[in-house]
Structure 1
């Protein structure tokens, strides 16, 4: 089952175009002054570096035959000065471009992280979290070399190539023309390598994403893995995923490394030909110094060619990652904030479901014609079988998903006409799976209301019966907890999540199975504290244990996405319908146990 899932590569919905590169360079634009200064400095360094062979020609052809020690010393001094200038310029370039490159990467990662926080629940419902993580971390990191070195090197190498060609033609036009014979062969090699390399790196990015997703899921599910002794099976799955990554990596690197030896071989063949041609031309307008200088330049000629080839490799590699990064950035939230929406302030808490229709997929109906009104201060309990649509109802109140039909109103205002942040600030939500963040218990309770004082945090914890167990911990409220609260029991995590929701002081409170992991004794004490805190707030409670919702203002029995029964506990018990059947069967099972 898992093997098939993690062997399936993601389809690329937005193939690479040079618009992606344009967008990437948009992140570089704020640093254009520093980049222009760096380019200028590197051009000076390149010019200083390229003067060497010409100085050697002058020494061999003029100063040495003339026995001019002073002239040789002057040339040596100029050469040494050129090397010092090159070294200083290179130091500046490395420092400046590393800083610019990392700043750009930081900005891209920040924009990507900010964007994924705006995406709707449906985005995360359909994607393994590890595949999201690999884009934010690994793929963005893969752009580092391109941003820190690639652009500056490209401009410098093009300048160097131009100057080198100029020097070669100045020394001897015939030899310069002979030096160009390797170009057509190089163009043919690049043409054949280009497409294969891009496809190979696209495949590698897929395999890396698959492996990251499987590792992420395996770590999250480690307790279940060990509980069911699935280690060997998971090992086989990981070996398959890892083998796929290894195979793709070897293929990508093999194709990438074809370019460099191709350039090297072509350059060696060209230099060999120049030696043969040059030696035969000595005395026919070509001096020994000129030939030595020309060979020096021809080796230099192929260095920027090789560097440009490496830059080409970097661009091809970056394409595979840019496609995925910008594909995620272009992902649109399915729940959009109204650009002309007004902020929702100081509501009383009236919630109306006006013939609501909803489904997670096109053509699917999870909720059908849901119609009811919760008055301010009412406690509405939702009961029914698993998958009947209870959680979908409370998710729609917060606009985690949008409706397919009907309206939801808050104090008479359609929630689609108000801003999403102002809507969600009216609500305190405890989801079915309480999430505890790494940090202190104090930080976790204060998560939804950062301006709350320590005293308010403690009062919220006391109200939900969390204070007593917190004080038994080594550092009390300052106790550090791990990601997902692994040091805490399921019941303790729920109590902390409950305190977090209540501290936000919402007008509307949503509790999705809020007491499912709490023992009976704690639950009874918790109910006493909640009776005061729920007063004046509109509350929606989902519970499988019906004993916890008997005091609710109204109970809605949901069946197959519709409200099958509605009324207070006593009214529904009198009717002896579906709620009565559920309650009596649950009560009977408790008596038997």
Structure 2
């Protein structure tokens, strides 16, 4: 017998709502594997924008140098300038396409990494986490949040880098080409930047409002569709429709406000750009008349002035996708930062051939930081014994079952398997030794055979069919269109609750655990379904240790031993016959059960 492991309780996970400041470290970690692609992308952006910005300067050279030379009979300068312009356009176009390809390749690599991290993390985290962190939130992390990051990486970052570099190169080129025109542009930058900053603040406010209202619309829709039977039963269709219409009207109003903000931004940015071009043209035109400025330089200055404000619009629009992606990264980082309370043992004890002896050694337990729900429970279960747990709702029966399967760790005491604290058993050996079957009897997408083989993916077809025969589901499966290869979904077969439970029993039988834990496995079945499952149970429980949580005494009465749990304590312990003879709580349950059978007959 190994020394009991100390009751370790991992530190409380970070607050799921405290998501600030975690996005940048996560972004750096996912970008690290693609840093070579990122540097290549930076080089491509620089060269492509340099080629694009060179266009107006070449136009100036062509007008001021190429055309006079052509008038004098020399076409070479104009041909060279024209060829240079075409080459710059070709290089800029090709490199811009390369930027898109490299950006997409890098972003897909990052997104693949994020999806894998989220999936691995959600599987690694324990049951307590999933009971606090709803499945809807997990799905949102894997879908909408990663999509928000995709939008940022696929286009947002590239657009920002390209636009910002284009603006810088345009301004520098204009200042170098003609100082006064450059000064006009730099003066016009001030209202443009102020306008962009105003748009960013307003768009951030609108973005938050839109998210809140959109979430309300989604929640209302999901709740109505989930409870559609209650809606129809109580004739609440009109009231639900009116409430949903009010929410959608709020959403429309918020979207209208966002459109108005975008419209104001576009209007004033276009006006600033047009005024800047007009001033550059006016000032430059007067200087051309005075002979202080060449015509080609004026044309180039106008082209540069027109090009400058289009990227500024893109920079302003980028802020929306950035806000969305930042919020998504914070949520993803918060999820990835969670640590499971159940930790693997530092020095695992191998248990390759478990016998199935169980002991709850003065166990005290409570969920998360809540009060204790089990109090000093001490029970020994010999290998091969079937023990039923009964009691009122909330007494602690299912909690005992979850502790045996090590879905949670105890606060004080220990749960032992063959004398070894389950916290010390090698995880693989523990999962093979103890299998839990719940009332949900969840079936995965795939064939009947694949569902039975969940616990033993390497099982042969003969072993799968033998498990089906053992629990009495084989004849049923053979009536399906493709037998054991029939898909378990809407395109294959739709199984009743009893049939799904039989398949889950076959799954457990094939896994052949030393300890089988059944948590309300027959609670949702009708009487005919229960009879089939009861017959399967007898074959399934033979020659193994079993812990059975059940409300139905038809299941309890076949057990070797019954534990009556009340208030987190075992108040009665004995065989069904002994407890009935004692006249205690179990006897009263038995009397009520017999009365219900007589009434049904």
TM-score by length of 2: 0.88
Alignment of 1:151-550 (within 5 A): 151-209=157-215, 211-212=217-218, 231-232=237-238, 234-236=240-242, 238-239=244-245, 242-243=248-249, 245-251=251-257, 255=261, 259-282=265-288, 283=290, 285-342=292-349, 344-360=351-367, 362-418=369-425, 420-482=427-489, 487-518=494-525, 520=527, 523=530, 527=534, 530-550=537-557
Q: Could you say what the CA RMSD is over the residues aligned between the two structures, in angstroms?
A: 3.0
* Contact 1:198–1:320 (8 Å) recurs in 2: no
Say which is worse superposed, 365-374 or 214-223, in terms of deviation: 214-223
Give CA deviations for 1:335-387 in whole Å, capped at 9, x if unaligned. 34345544543222121112222233534332222221111111110112222
SS at match of 1:481: coil
Deviation of 1:35 (Å):
2.8
SS at match of 1:416: coil
Choose from 41, 53, 56 the match for 1:53.
Answer: 56
Q: Structure 1 unaligned runs (5+)?
A: 1-10
SS at match of 2:363: strand
Deviation of 1:248 (Å):
4.8
Report the equivalent of 1:34. Answer: 37
* Contact 1:131–1:213 (8 Å) recurs in 2: no
Deviation of 1:571 (Å):
0.8
* CA pair 83-329 structure 1, distance change in 2 beyond 3 A: same
* CA pair 160-526 structure 1, distance change in 2 beyond 3 A: closer
Distance 1:403 1:502 in 2: 28
* CA pair 478-208 structure 1, distance change in 2 beyond 3 A: farther
* CA pair 521-20 structure 1, distance change in 2 beyond 3 A: closer
* Contact 1:201–1:320 (8 Å) recurs in 2: no
Q: Does 1:126 align with 2:132?
A: yes
Deviation of 1:394 (Å):
0.4
Deviation of 1:473 (Å):
1.7
* CA pair 553-352 structure 1, distance change in 2 beyond 3 A: same
Say which is worse superposed, 71-80 or 186-195, in terms of deviation: 186-195
Report the equivalent of 2:4. Answer: none
Distance 1:217 1:128 in 2: 15
* CA pair 110-275 structure 1, distance change in 2 beyond 3 A: same
Distance 2:497 2:553 in 1: 20
Distance 2:427 2:414 in 1: 15
Deviation of 1:586 (Å):
0.7
Distance 2:587 2:462 in 1: 43
Choose from 144, 152, 160 the match for 1:146.
Answer: 152
Q: How many residues end up aligned between the 2 structures?
A: 582
* CA pair 358-543 structure 1, distance change in 2 beyond 3 A: same
Deviation of 1:431 (Å):
0.8
Distance 2:567 2:478 in 1: 44
Distance 2:420 2:164 in 1: 63
Give CA deviations for 1:35-83 in whole Å, capped at 9, x if unaligned. 3223323332222222221122122222323414443333222222222
Choose from 13, 18, 22 the match for 2:17.
Answer: 13
Q: Does 1:24 align with 2:27?
A: yes
Q: Which has the higher contact order (CA 8 A, sep 6+)?
A: 2
SS at match of 2:372: coil
Give CA deviations for 1:141-163 in whole Å, capped at 9, x if unaligned. 12223212333444444443333
TM-score by length of 1: 0.89
* Contact 2:388–2:549 (8 Å) recurs in 1: yes
* CA pair 102-147 structure 1, distance change in 2 beyond 3 A: same
* Contact 1:350–1:412 (8 Å) recurs in 2: yes
Distance 1:271 1:503 in 2: 79
